[in-house]
Amino acid sequence: MFYKINEQDTYIRNLIAYIESALEQDDHILLIESQRIMNILRDELKIRLTKEQMKSIQMLNNFDYYVSTGSFQPAIIFDHLSRTLQPFFDKGISVRIWAHVEWGQQEGIVPILEEFECEADRVVSELGLYLVCAYDHNRLPDTLEERLMKCHQYIMSENDIILSELYGQISQSQSSERG
């Protein structure tokens, strides 16, 4: 699911609702988020959740997660994701993922992010996972937003979840570039 973040307070409310819904269904949560939002979220969740429920949430700093090598590299990110999820799979624990995607200054980032997101959609579908990929609206070029709508079946807004009319409409040249 693609989420374009327009307003931080609403974003945090939606993130909390996602977490609470997952916990109600005995799912664990892997949260890949900015340190600033994790700090706000921890304070809010401590009020709402038990200590036992808090243990079902694994929080990772998104900047460290996405650009630990100095640039946004999908192969390394997927390897890290696989290693992070494996303990859940080994124990038969259902997990949902919420990822706030951010990157540093990087030349040619749009096609890299598109490749990353389309591969993430494929992996999530194969594994039967729930995944929200959130992007800040002020960092999201129009061309990337349209491409993300092609890679994600659902689009989450501040108030709604809708089917993407562009889902799966990846051009032949784009799919052949990915090989």
Domain containing 125: what range? 2-178
Report angle CA 74, 156, 100 to the nearest 5 degrees: 35
**Are the beta carbons of 62 and 100 closer than 8 angstroms?**
yes
**pLDDT tens digits, one per residue of 132-144:** 999 998 888 888 8
Question: Which of these, 20, 167, 172, lies nearest to 96 by C-alpha position?
Answer: 20
Mean pLDDT to the nearest integer, 64-79: 82
Q: How far apart are CA 19 and CA 14, in angstroms?
A: 9
Q: What is the pLDDT of residues 72-127, one digit of tens each?
A: 888 888 888 889 999 999 999 999 999 999 887 777 888 888 888 888 888 888 88
Strand partners, 154: 163
Residues sharing a CB contact under 8 Å with residue 33, sequence separation 6 or more, in sequence order: 15, 41, 59, 60, 61, 62, 98, 99, 100
Domains in the chain, number? 1
116, 83 in Cβ contact below 8 A?
A: no
- Residue 28 vs residue 172, higher pLDDT: 28
Q: What CATH number is attached to the domain comprising 40?
A: 3.40.50
Terminal Cα distance for the chain, rounded: 24
pTM above 0.85, yes or no: yes
